[in-house]
Structure 1
Amino acid sequence: MPGKRSSRGSAKGRVARKSLSVGGWIAVLTTAAVIGTSLTAYAAYYDIYGNIEQQNIDTDAFGDRPSRVEGAMNIMVIGSDVRTGENADYGEAEGQRPDTLIIAHISPNSGRATLVNLPRDLLVDLPACEGQGDTAGMPAQRGMINSPMSLGGVQCQWKAVETVTGVHIDHFVSVDFTGFREIVDSLGGVRMCIPEPIDDKKAKLHLKAGEQVLNGEESLGYMRSRYGQGDGSDVSRIKRQQEFLGAMLNQVMQGEILSSPSNLTGFLGSVTETMTTDDELTLDVMSDIAIAMREVDLGNINFVTAPNGAAPDDANRLALRQPQASQLFEAIAKDQSIKGDDGGKDGGGKGGEKKEEQVDPGDISVEVLNGEGTPDLANQVGQWLTTEGFQVANTGNPLQIPSQTTIYYGPGKKAHAQALADEAVNATVAESPNLGDTVQLVLAQDWEGFTSTAGSGSSDGAAGGVDGTTAAEAKQKCG
């Protein structure tokens, strides 16, 4: 194929140059979408497609693989923390490991897409895998979900994701740090609402509060920032990444990119020059994705995180929370709705059952009290709750510490306490008649943090009550 660079002879060099995709999924989806809108300009896009670096992946070496659903597609999005070449400005790290790992599920039959984040801190049972290029491969072991990349390359990472989730992966895509920055700059920046000032030296990010347009460097810092925002967890960071990517997708699909040939060509050039994919993700396949994505409304592009909690064998790591995680993966593998809305169901209550009262975070006033023992934890938790829209009335230390993390509520505020409990990995609710309108979150020694996928516990829906956000909801305005 003229102008196309095969990777079979020098995979190591290519992966080292192009391997972060904090926004890689949007690259492949929007590239496909814009190609599909102008198939009459096929020759021009054929030249742009030649910019993409590609790798050969021997999926036959995997042995038994999960079955695939005809018509649906699953793309593994890899974001690596490699720090070579132009990416050296972002610090030093040995090898390359996914900084972001996503399964992008495209379902043209139902007109929806789902982006499932796999937190990099997840401890899982990994399969044995032969190495690729100069990598040695690895024996079967328990380790972090992102470790196969450094031990056996993309091929090992692909096999591990399939084994852990039971989801058949059709393709992969990645973009490096520098590439993501350039993609944002080609859009003229991305408009975001920053609820609180950010001062994160590690991520090289310093932002004032308020609505503003983030340039490429600021956007990269925002996506990488962990300890300067929220509760400092990877799950909290993933939530912010989902909001950013949703805002970015809004801007691409509703802005001037698609209506201006010059803007479109510049955007596609910046996207494809920073992408690495498998060699079976051809221009025809991208066009097929584009045709499918034309019918997907922004409200049907869902962002979720694999349900998780603290790992029993390592308090600094995460483990998949069951049965919710298995239900989510099964829904993706079978091309079912994660919200249980297949066949016209509304996902709320079965057989005429009464729905529980729904309370918006903005209507919940909460006091956070730290009995867990970690200095400043109440303030960190309070900051995270503020970014999620809760009204934090106060933070401090409790007079008495319960045996387990508890949310206390006064008369008529049980629904408020339960809505807050749904955001925590482990929290019980209890009535305290002396409380007024403000509920109290008392952090005990068993505190395990928040999870963006902590649902109501409902059995409705194929994924058992997994929460998330949509691209339409990510269009933010301050106030």
Structure 2
Amino acid sequence: MVSTGLVIVSLLTGYGVYFNIYNKINQEEIDFDEWGDRPSRVDGVMNIMIIGSDVRSGDNAAYGDAEGERPDTLAIAHISPEKKAATVVNIPRDSIVDQPACEPKGDKPGQQAHTAMIGEAMNNGGVECLWKTVESLTDVHIDHFVSVDFTGFKEMVDALGGVTMCIPEPIQDKNAGHLDLQAGEQKLDGEEALGYVRSRKGQGDGSDLSRISRQQDFMGAMLKTVMSGDVLSSPTTLNSFLGSVADSLTTDDGLTVSTMGDIAVAMREVDLDDIEFITVPNGPHPADPNRVAWSEPKASELWQQVASDEIGGGSKDEGGGSGGGGGGEEEKVDPSQVSVEVLNGTSIPGLADEVSTGLTTRGFQPAGTGNPTGQVPPETTVYYGPGQEAAAKAVAKTFTNGTTEENAALADTLQVVVSQDWDGFKASSGGGGGSGGGGGSGIDSKSASDAKVACG
């Protein structure tokens, strides 16, 4: 969530307004003296730790009474001026990780080295301990951090007059501010948007991973809203938004006006298509399936790409695409015109909902979920009716493994049967196919321009 504000402030620094809001930003001193050797830094590259804080004190008391402060959202924003690209790597809050020892910080008691959910580092030692933990886990040099709380995020959305989203199915979640949304295209105000990005139990399979996917989609929609002509051409709306960003942000004291200017220079050349969202490769933790373990070696390979600036902007112009099939021109497919029903042919609960959500975030139209009747194919298969082969291939290309087969009994709606060979989505295979982003990481990702705003 906070990456949206960071990116937007960076993009708008050229308007000369950042200097007017800088003094409103809260800053925190970070002491690196006792950290020992830190990861090496790549010249010209900026890695920023972005935090959506779950603090419940002060103006945030209305959102519960949990003690302490942990990252409700945690990610690394990798900005690469040379590639004219930005990559936001989300770290699931349910990740069980090895954490280093941290000294006490202010009212934080500090911690001994131990294994726990990643948010415990922030609760025990503040942002400084979380920063140290992330660097030790990823071997990525973090240059700065930016944090925003619930109230700040809500105010950002309200300053824009709301953000338009496509809500695939009705949502009711009493644990997310009594969220109650109807299906369809609608403009979310700040309170609704906060509930939407925080909601877990009321959507999909109820996991933090599916919630991350929705947050990424919302960030893309918010960026689209801010970068629309209406917002940029309205001084009142622009100043209100930037003021709400400033009031809600906390950064390290090294993130100066000059540094923000450097980020702005880098970000001016970055299009929405070149802002990618990725989640660290992961799976259920062996000791607790409700928690997350990073998948190796894929996670380490991803972080190595971030650390060495080998991610983002690499394969979008290479034309290879991410799907199978031979050469030659392929028919262009508009995902928003493709309706897909997903059937779960496995014993994994909620998998059809998960796959349907993944397709929706890639622009396809959801047409319900369920279980297949009769024999389940050995491979995950996209069944299509007459004249729908190109659409079926576009869907299949989003999968790591998938095939297509004609079924004359079907009309315009495609039918996906997820089989035991299911292995997730491909990298940046955004519906129409062929973008292949992620710098060749082979890890599921999507660009900000993929955000599902309109339902039709």
Cα separation, 2, equivalents of 1:418 and 1:472: 18
Q: Runs of 5+ in structure 1 lacking a partner?
A: 1-21
Deviations 1:244-295 (A, max 9, x none): 1111111112233333333332222111011100001011111121122111
Cα separation, 1, equivalents of 2:137 and 2:286: 18
1:239 counterpart = 2:209: no
Cα separation, 2, equivalents of 1:336 and 1:265: 36
Q: Retained in 2: the 8 A contact 1:371–1:398?
A: no
Map residues 13-162 of structure 1 onto 2, 5 A cutoff: 22=1, 24-38=2-16, 45-162=18-135
Q: Retained in 1: the 8 A contact 2:85–2:313?
A: no
Task: Identify which of 272, 286, 292 aligns with 1:318.
Answer: 292
Task: Identify which of 142, 166, 171 aligns with 1:198.
Answer: 171
Task: Identify which of 343, 367, 373 aligns with 1:368.
Answer: 343
Map residues 67-466 of structure 1 onto 2, 5 A cutoff: 67-203=40-176, 204-338=178-312, 340-341=314-315, 345-346=318-319, 348=321, 365-366=340-341, 368-369=343-344, 372=347, 377=350, 380-381=353-354, 384=357, 387-388=360-361, 389=364, 392=367, 395-396=370-371, 407=380, 441=417, 462-466=439-443
Give the stretch that moved more between structures: 270-279 or 116-125.
Answer: 116-125
- The alpha carbon displacement at 1:72 in A equals 0.8
Cα separation, 1, equivalents of 2:215 and 2:301: 23
Q: Retained in 2: the 8 A contact 1:172–1:277?
A: yes
Deviations 1:67-94 (A, max 9, x none): 1111110110011211111111111212
Q: Retained in 2: the 8 A contact 1:193–1:478?
A: yes
Cα separation, 2, equivalents of 1:474 and 1:229: 17
Cα separation, 1, equivalents of 2:284 and 2:263: 37
Q: Structure 1 vs Structure 2: percent identity of aligned residues?
A: 49
Cα separation, 1, equivalents of 2:403 and 2:7: 46
Cα separation, 2, equivalents of 1:328 and 1:82: 30
- The alpha carbon displacement at 1:118 in A equals 0.6
Cα separation, 2, equivalents of 1:394 and 1:384: 10
Deviations 1:218-254 (A, max 9, x none): 1101111111111211111111111111111111122
Corresponding residue SS for 2:147: strand
Corresponding residue SS for 2:34: helix
Deviations 1:384-411 (A, max 9, x none): 3674536556524777899xx9636779
* Partner AA of 2:269 in structure 1: E
Cα separation, 2, equivalents of 1:26 and 1:165: 23
Q: Retained in 1: the 8 A contact 2:426–2:442?
A: no
Cα separation, 1, equivalents of 2:126 and 2:453: 37
RMSD: 3.8
Corresponding residue SS for 2:33: helix
Match of 2:455 in 1: 478
* Partner AA of 2:266 in structure 1: A
Give the stretch that moved more between structures: 136-145 or 154-163.
Answer: 136-145
Q: 1:291 to 1:211 in 2, by over 3 A?
A: same
Cα separation, 1, equivalents of 2:415 and 2:353: 18
Q: 1:254 to 1:394 in 2, by over 3 A?
A: closer
- The alpha carbon displacement at 1:214 in A equals 0.7
Cα separation, 1, equivalents of 2:83 and 2:403: 41
* Partner AA of 2:128 in structure 1: Q
Match of 1:8 in 2: none
Q: 1:410 to 1:35 in 2, by over 3 A?
A: closer
Cα separation, 1, equivalents of 2:451 and 2:45: 25
Q: Retained in 1: the 8 A contact 2:343–2:371?
A: yes
Cα separation, 2, equivalents of 1:391 and 1:298: 24
* Partner AA of 2:239 in structure 1: T
Cα separation, 2, equivalents of 1:26 and 1:163: 26
Corresponding residue SS for 2:311: coil
Q: Retained in 1: the 8 A contact 2:94–2:292?
A: yes
Q: Retained in 2: the 8 A contact 1:239–1:452?
A: no
Aligned length: 440
Q: 1:254 to 1:422 in 2, by over 3 A?
A: closer
Cα separation, 2, equivalents of 1:210 and 1:88: 31
- The alpha carbon displacement at 1:52 in A equals 0.6
Deviations 1:157-200 (A, max 9, x none): 00111111111100001111111111111111111111211111
Q: 1:317 to 1:107 in 2, by over 3 A?
A: same
Cα separation, 2, equivalents of 1:146 and 1:113: 24
* Partner AA of 1:256 in structure 2: D
- The alpha carbon displacement at 1:335 in A equals 1.3
- The alpha carbon displacement at 1:372 in A equals 3.1
Q: Retained in 2: the 8 A contact 1:408–1:431?
A: yes
Question: What's the TM-score, normalizing by structure 2?
Answer: 0.83
* Partner AA of 1:269 in structure 2: G
Cα separation, 1, equivalents of 2:211 and 2:172: 15
